[in-house]
Amino acid sequence: MKIHTSDPVAEPGAVAYHRCTVDLRSGEMVFADVPCRNLEDVLGGFGRSFQDLAKRQVTDAYSDENPLIVNTGLLTGSSVMTSLRTYFSGYSPLKASKKGLPAAMWSTGSGSFGAKLKWTGLDELVFENRSAQPVYVVIREGGNGPQVELKAATHLLGLSTHEKMMVLHKEYPEAHFASIGPAGEHWQTNRLGAVALSTENQLKSGEDKCRFAGRGGMGSLMGYKNILALVALSSDRLRPVSEAVKAVNLNVVRGGGSARIQPLHRGGGGGTWAAYDVLQAFHAVPYNNFRPAGNDLPRKLFRENVEPHYHIQSQACFRCGITCHNNISEKKADGGKGEFLAKFDYEPLNLLGTNIGIHDAGQAARLIQLGDNLGMDSISLGVTIAYVLAYNERHPATPLLNGATFGDYEKIRELVIQCGEGKLPEIGQGSMRLSESLGEPSYAYHVKGLELPAYQPETNPGYAWAIAGGHMSMGTYGLLTREGKSDVESWVKGITEDKLQIVGFDMIGLCKFFDIAKGIGTQMVVDCLKSEFGFEVSTEALCAAVRRGFLRGLALELRQGYTKAEYRLPAEVSENPNPHIRLPNITSPDFLDKLEKRVWEIFEPELAGILD
């Protein structure tokens, strides 16, 4: 970034980001310093990419008109805690309106690739058209600025996400990587492709501990472009931590924002896995395709029931003080760590575990590991498989595919492998397309073509307005469960004011655990921007920029043909209310009608002209 102002709100044009546009067909590359249009451009991530996507008319995700935009946030690669994010944006192969037009989408992950990319001196890569041959892309810092090179990648074909990185690591030992797996390579039959991002721990240990930008099939779009991997090669340019940032980092680590994510031995809640216990108290842990049965089976994947049999290690991303994740390995006879299996976060554990009838931690871990290595979004994969299993339960005489049913590990494993290898377009196309082709969409758990995360829709009508995935682009998933809000006005306020602010993290380069409840419109972020860039930005200006970014996403959905009728939860939720969920019913047709009316009354006037 080139910065010539302390007031990026009044003078965004005095801030420029460095972009490289790569024509994959011709190999031509254009470098430019691009003046920012507004604060969203300055912040980066989807705040910038969605403005560029809005300029394009894209009717097919797999077309020359659809770019793949890879960028970072303003704070990516800074000394601020959690600043490791990379963003992948484009029109989604997976998320689409009923009219058939692809939705604009972004996906993000941590790992060390984003910081390395930022340190090459490049803020954004735009990939146009499609390479005729498989390539990987090397981005490196040079004496006269960043350099980008396309290299033949035939030798990487067919390798897993992790294997690709380890092969490239031998050639570029100082680099970090983003790669797709076989799923992304088979983009024609698999729209669930994720992009994996390398971690320090992974490259040092050789264990498959990637991070993932999973949502919306950005890995399939990368596969369509014929890009198998990105290599970011730069020296470490981490600046010394200022006193102001040090204070913020301490607050992040010790404060309410992330303390609950910390490991148990540090007095924390033990990561997102802890959600199992809480949601089970309400009988709201997704079970057998989002139909909790009021039984105790979800308890089998409680940490307390897994720990005696597996080695669990709390670990953090590189340089992050939030030790948010739990790595599961086989346990040796002496109690020591055996073979690494998978990272247990709430979403993949549930959606490739309890929600498909798998209650054995080892089996769930193996399915997560398979999905990761094949390079698929665990949410979309798990939910689409759950739909197949539910269909087979309803049609025992004429089941789909291999006839797998809930809990049949071997057959489910076969589905995951075949899907990842591009041999099962039925699952690879996602739950919306599959359910509509079968004429049974009511129990397909997606909204707007994107599969739901592992929070029951009965607890979150806000899913309807999420612009890039159910829980990470609309923070209402705890409004009923956690806050006990069951009146329409609280939900209107949540959706249209407070909870949409969660998407700010997907502009600025920080992980949501920085301060998941409050967003980026906080004094902590103001202090960091002042310290790192000399910016004078108010919390109000940050909130306003996030809101504009969110509304742009909503406007883009409508432009791509979504009707208001598509802003709805799966029909089964209202048509066949689940009697086992111990929470007030906020998904009756009457409640949803009132909510929809009030939310649109607020959003619609603000959408006019926002894409201009």
Partner 1 sequence: MNIHVQLIGLFKTGRFDQKTLDVPEGIRVDEVIATLGLPRQLFGIVLINDLHAEPASQLREGDRLVLMPIVDGG
Applying CB under 8 A, does 274 fall inside the site for partner 1? yes
Nearer to partner 1 (CB atom), residue 298 or residue 441: 298
Q: Which is nearer to partner 1, 441 or 478 (CB)?
A: 478
Closer to partner 1 by Cβ: residue 272 or 578: 272
Site for partner 1 in 449-508 (CB under 8 A): 453-455, 471-472, 478, 481-484
Query: How far apart are the C-alpha atoms of 294 and 72, rounded to whole Å?
Result: 43
Q: Is residue 579 part of the contact set for partner 1 (CB under 8 A)?
A: no
Residue given tokens 């290599």 in the structure block: 231
What minimum distance in Å lies between the beta carbon of 150 and partner 1?
35
Place of tokens 């071997």: 410
Q: Which stretch binds partner 1 (CB under 8 A): 20-28, 228-236, 330-338, 340-348?
A: 340-348
Beta bridge mates, 147: 140
For 195, 413, 584, the CA distances from 422, given in Å and listed in that order, are: 16, 14, 42
Site for partner 1 contains 267 (CB under 8 A): yes
The helix or strand, by DSSP H or E, that contains position 193, with its residue range, turns out to be none
Are 371 and 196 contacting, i.e. CB atoms less than 8 angstroms apart? no
State which residue, 259 or 297, has the beta carbon closest to partner 1. 259
| Interacting residue with partner 1 among 217, 270, 461, 494 (CB under 8 A) | 270
Q: Is 131 helix (H, G, I), strand (E, B) or coil?
A: coil
The answer to whether the beta carbons of residues 31 and 24 sit under 8 Å apart is no
Closest contact distance (angstroms) between CB of 260 and partner 1 is 5
Query: Does 316 help bind partner 1 (rule: CB under 8 A)?
Result: no
Q: How far is the CB of 542 from partner 1 (least distance, A)?
A: 21
Please, what is the minimum distance in Å from the beta carbon of residue 50 to partner 1? 23
- Least distance in Å: CB of 275 to partner 1? 5
Please select the residue that binds partner 1; options are 14, 54, 167, 264, rule is CB under 8 A.
264
Choose, by CB under 8 A, the member of 113, 513, 533, 550 that binds partner 1: 513
Torsion of CA 159, 161, 167, 169, to 10 degrees: 170
Query: Which residue is listed with tokens 């406007």?
Result: 555
Nearer to partner 1, 404 or 479 (CB): 479
137 CB-near residues (< 8 Å, 6+ apart) = 22, 125, 148, 149, 150, 151, 227, 229, 230, 231
Residue 12 interacts with partner 1 (CB under 8 A): yes or no: no
CB of 280 to partner 1, least distance (A): 8
401 binds partner 1 (CB under 8 A): no
What tokens does 526 get?
């103001």
Query: What does the DSSP assignment read for 9-25?
Result: TT-GGGEEEEEEEEETT
How near is the Cβ of 261 to partner 1 at its closest, in Å? 7
* Residue of 203, 279, 492, 508 interacting with partner 1 (CB under 8 A): 279
Beta bridge partners of 128: 23
Size of the site for partner 1 (CB under 8 A): 35
What does each C-alpha distance from 520 to 183, 242, 515 come to in angstroms? Answer: 34, 19, 8
Smallest gap from Cβ 95 to partner 1, in A, equals 18
Would you give the distance in Å from CA 158 to the centre of its chain? 24
Which residues share a beta bridge with 193? 376
Of the candidate spans 198-206, 229-237, 275-283, 604-612, the one that interacts with partner 1 by CB under 8 A turns out to be 275-283
Binding marks (x or -) toward partner 1, 414..453, rule CB under 8 A? ---------------------------------------x
Cβ 130 vs Cβ 225: under 8 Å:
yes
Placement of tokens 């077309």 in the chain: 63
Q: By CB under 8 A, is residue 554 in contact with partner 1?
A: no
- The distance of closest approach from Cβ of residue 277 to partner 1 in the complex, given in angstroms and rounded to an integer, is 3
* Axis crossing angle, helix 361-374 with helix 378-394, rounded to the nearest 10: 120
Q: How many CB atoms sit inside 10 A of residue 487's CB?
A: 11
The least CB distance from residue 564 to partner 1, in Å, is 27
Q: To which H or E segment does residue 221 belong?
A: helix 218-224
Least distance between partner 1 and beta carbon 484 (Å): 3
Among 180, 221, 227, 275, binds partner 1 (CB under 8 A): 275
Q: How far is the CB of 515 from partner 1 (least distance, A)?
A: 11
Residue 465 and residue 502 in contact, taking contact as beta carbons nearer than 8 Å: no
3-state SS string over 293-319?
CCCCHHHHHCHHHHCCCEEEEEECCCC
Nearer to partner 1, 480 or 537 (CB): 480
Contacts of partner 1 in 341-380 (CB under 8 A) = 345-347
Residues 320 and 510: beta-carbon distance below 8 Å:
no
Q: State yes or no: residue 520 binds partner 1 (CB under 8 A).
A: no
Structure tokens that stand for 574 in this block: 């209202």
Interacting residue ranges for partner 1, rule: CB under 8 A: 255-256, 259-261, 264, 267-270, 272, 274-275, 277-279, 281, 345-347, 453-455, 471-472, 478, 481-484, 512-513, 516-517, 582
